[in-house]
A and B are shown apart, each in its own frame.
Chain A
């Protein structure tokens, strides 16, 4: 009885975590696919989402308000960063990458300055436990899973069905062509950046009650987010979703049998294999 329940719990946790990672990774893939800039500070958007969430909850005691407002605030910061700092340097990718490195440091330690170094907790907004297999499972986590799936589905619809979504996909495919056809590319880039940071921040707020909130939490998700991009294939949104779930489940399931350390190493091994055998990603449709 024990191990099946344990396994099931871990699978559920893996799904929840995988969806949160998906939110972060999708943001990363969107931005990278569009402007070919690897945003090292992307993890900090996740962190800022959680931090702003924490502050908002402190002042308003309202989780739902924080859930909506925090990502919007972070999106605004993302926009500012894109406009003020990244835009002037968008010519050389290495240069921009190092700039995002600097931004990452600034964001982390500014938060450290005001928020401090000790991790804080946010209480789950509702204490509801669903009974599964004779054990209680956090209703909040299920909510997170459902909300994430909804947001991702909305994102998909947005990209496929709206005009802006079409523009985003066009600029992603061929920026020069998009300019030639009259698409306001700069605006598209700005919107994508805001969207990407919004998604990461949303993931941060959702994750906050489950894990703790501290100024380094961006670094904790960064390697996983990057692994997702590599395994799923750069620029491949569906791949990112698939890889997020895959990695999270892999780590979740294996941690039942082996220590969490080994499961981390396992995903590292998976990533290494993908790099060797299929550098374009597991889910990529491209042929060599």
Chain B
């Protein structure tokens, strides 16, 4: 994947994104900001599913947790932007550690069930504690200014600054993920996905590494949620809902698991779809369900996987 063609495309896309505020309308800039933030969620899910081979159907928990921690720390503690973001990451990491501690001890199906249970229970808890979380009405939030030394940049009232902040953070995260997957630990994740039993027999405590993968994924999913709330100035418990967990699974399967970029493509496609179709067709999850079934049966490697397969065949 690390061919010259890839790097060229990558920089091209990055330049387009960098210049977007100059030629894009404010509506599109808002949408793209959201997509970039969601891309982080997509990549984080790919880490555990596409790379480490664990399917979680409760990832909304971390996404929503990050969003709530970010929002609540600003509302109740007047946290500044950096602190709120850091708390979101760490808080989600802790929650991922707790859930992961139990979940990784289970294999395959049981693992999935555990992620579902925790996720649904936390979702229903968010309704019971409506006074804090705002339930499905949600909580509006005033994003504090970005303070860099003596420079204070408004984020709340400045969509462009918001856009660049999100782009910067997610780009850094992408670089982190890229480094991670080419590192020994990243290769180990892939080995665990390929043959967990053999990985144990050659001397690795796979529970430990699956947990690490899960926690990293949870932490950055939380950051993604925080960035989303930062952009929309709002949070509600739909972010913790089952459909959010399913969304990220759909993006990854349709886009292409194990490629980091595939799920980002999926996030892109489905966010646009939701934005333009859902207005007319409120039952659009039916279509999502059908697309999901179609892809998992006929194109399990996803769009990107399919394209990469074509390129490989073309080379021969």
Direct contact of A and B (CB under 8 A): yes
Binding site for B on A (CB under 8 A): 36, 38, 40, 85, 88-89, 93-95, 97-99, 101-106, 108-110, 112-113, 219-220, 222-223, 226-227, 229-230, 234, 259-261, 264-265, 268, 271-272, 275-276, 279
In the bound complex, how far is the Cα of B121 from the Cα of A112, in angstroms?
23
- The interface residues of chain A lying within 8 Å CB-to-CB of B102 are 272, 275-276
Query: Which residues on the B side are within 8 Å of A279 (C-beta)?
Result: 105-106, 110
Chain B residues 268-313 with CB under 8 Å of chain A are 282-286, 288-293, 296-297, 300
**Which chain B residues in 104-138 approach chain A with CB under 8 Å?**
105-106, 108-110, 112-114, 116-118, 120-121, 124-125, 128-129
CA distance A95 to B253 in the complex (A): 11
Are A102 and B289 in touch, CB under 8 angstroms?
yes
B residues near A222, Cβ cutoff 8 Å: 116, 120
Least CB distance from A110 to B in Å reads 6
Asked if B285 contacts A38 (CB within 8 A), the reply is no
| Chain B nearest Cβ from A82, distance in angstroms | 14
With beta carbons under 8 angstroms apart, the residue of B125, B249, B289 that contacts A106 is B289
What is the interface of chain A mostly: helix, strand, loop, or mixed? helix
Q: A98-B253, A99-B293, A102-B293 are in contact. List 17 more A-B contacts (CB 8 A).
A: A85-B293, A93-B108, A94-B55, A102-B288, A102-B290, A105-B243, A105-B285, A109-B283, A219-B242, A223-B116, A226-B113, A234-B110, A261-B128, A264-B121, A268-B121, A275-B106, A279-B106
Chain B 206-255 interface residues, beta-carbon cutoff 8 Å to A:
242-243, 246, 249, 253
Measured between beta carbons, the chain A residues less than 8 angstroms from B105 are 275-276, 279
Bound form: Cα–Cα A254–B226 in Å: 35
B283 touching A110, Cβ below 8 Å = yes
Evaluate whether A113 and B116 lie within 8 angstroms (CB atoms) in the complex, with A98-B253, A99-B297, A102-B289 already known: no
Chain B residues in 8 Å Cβ range of A106: 285-286, 289-290
| Least CB distance, A247 to chain B, in whole angstroms | 12
A38 contacts B112, CB within 8 Å? Answer: yes
User: Does B57 interact with chain A (Cβ within 8 Å)?
Assistant: yes
Q: Are A98 and B125 in contact (CB under 8 A)?
A: no
Q: A38-B109, A105-B246, A106-B290 are in contact. Are A98 and B121 (CB under 8 A)?
A: no
**Inter-subunit contact B128/A260 (CB<8 Å):** yes
CB < 8 Å: which of B110, B242, B293, B296 contacts A230?
A: B110
CA gap between A234 and B106 in the complex, in Å: 13
B124, A103: Cβ atoms closer than 8 Å: no
List of A residues within 8 angstroms of B125 by Cβ: 261, 264-265
- Which residue from A85, A94, A102, A113 sits with its C-beta under 8 Å from B108? A94
In the complex, what's the smallest C-beta–C-beta distance from A9 to chain B, in angstroms?
Answer: 21
Please name all residues of chain B whose beta carbon is closer than 8 Å to the beta carbon of A234 when the two chains form the complex: 110
**In the assembly, what is the distance between CA of A268 and CA of B57, in Å?**
17
The residues of A that contact B109 with a CB separation of less than 8 Å are 36, 38, 93, 97
A255 to chain B, nearest CB (A): 11
For residue A99, give the distance in angstroms from its CB to the closest CB of chain B.
5
Please give, as numbers and ranges, the residues of chain A lying within 8 Å of B108 by CB-CB distance: 93-94
Asked if residues B292 and A102 are in contact (CB atoms below 8 Å), the reply is yes
Give min CB distance, B59 to chain A, whole Å: 13
Which chain B residues lie closer than 8 Å to A264 at the CB level?
A: 121, 124-125
CB-based contact A88/B292 at 8 Å: no
Q: How far is the CA of A279 from the CA of B110 in the complex (A)?
A: 10
Contacts of A99 in B (CB 8 A): 292-293, 296-297
Instruction: Point out which of B57, B120, B249 has the most chain A C-beta atoms below 10 A from its C-beta.
Output: B120
B34 to chain A, nearest CB (A): 22
A222 to B58 alpha-carbon distance, docked (Å) = 13
* CA of A88 to CA of B253, assembled, Å: 19
When C-beta atoms are compared, the residue in chain A nearest to B107 turns out to be A279
Residues of A within 8 A of B293 (CB): 85, 98-99, 102-103
Nearest A-chain residue to B109, judged by Cβ: A38
Q: Give complex CA distance A101, B297 in Å.
A: 13
Given known A-B contacts A98-B253, A261-B129, A275-B105, A105 and B286 have beta carbons under 8 A apart: yes
Distance in angstroms from A271 CB to nearest chain B CB is: 7
Least Cβ–Cβ distance between B47 and chain A, in angstroms:
17
**Complex A-B: 30 CB contacts under 8 Å:** A89-B296, A95-B296, A95-B297, A95-B300, A97-B109, A97-B112, A98-B249, A98-B292, A99-B292, A99-B293, A101-B246, A102-B288, A103-B289, A104-B289, A105-B285, A105-B288, A108-B285, A109-B283, A109-B284, A219-B242, A222-B120, A234-B110, A261-B125, A264-B121, A268-B117, A275-B105, A275-B106, A275-B110, A275-B114, A279-B106
Question: In the assembled complex, which residues on chain A have CB atoms less than 8 Å from the CB atom of B128?
Answer: 259-261
Complex Cα distance A219/B246, Å?
13
Question: B283 — which chain A residues lie within 8 A by C-beta?
Answer: 109-110, 112-113
In the complex, the answer to whether B120 meets A223 with C-beta atoms within 8 Å is yes
Nearest CB of chain A from residue B277's CB, rounded to whole Å: 13
- Residue among B120, B284, B288 making CB contact with A219, cutoff 8 Å: B120
For the complex of A and B, 4 pairs with smallest distance between CB atoms? A105-B289, A102-B293, A106-B289, A102-B292
Known: A113-B283, A268-B121. A101 touches B292 (CB 8 A): yes
Q: In chain B, residues 171-200, which have Cβ atoms closer than 8 Å to a Cβ of chain A?
A: none
Cβ 8 A contact of B117, one of A89, A108, A261, A271? A271
- Closest residue on chain A to residue B242 by CB atoms: A219
Q: Which of B113, B129, B242, B296 contacts A229 (CB 8 A)?
A: B113
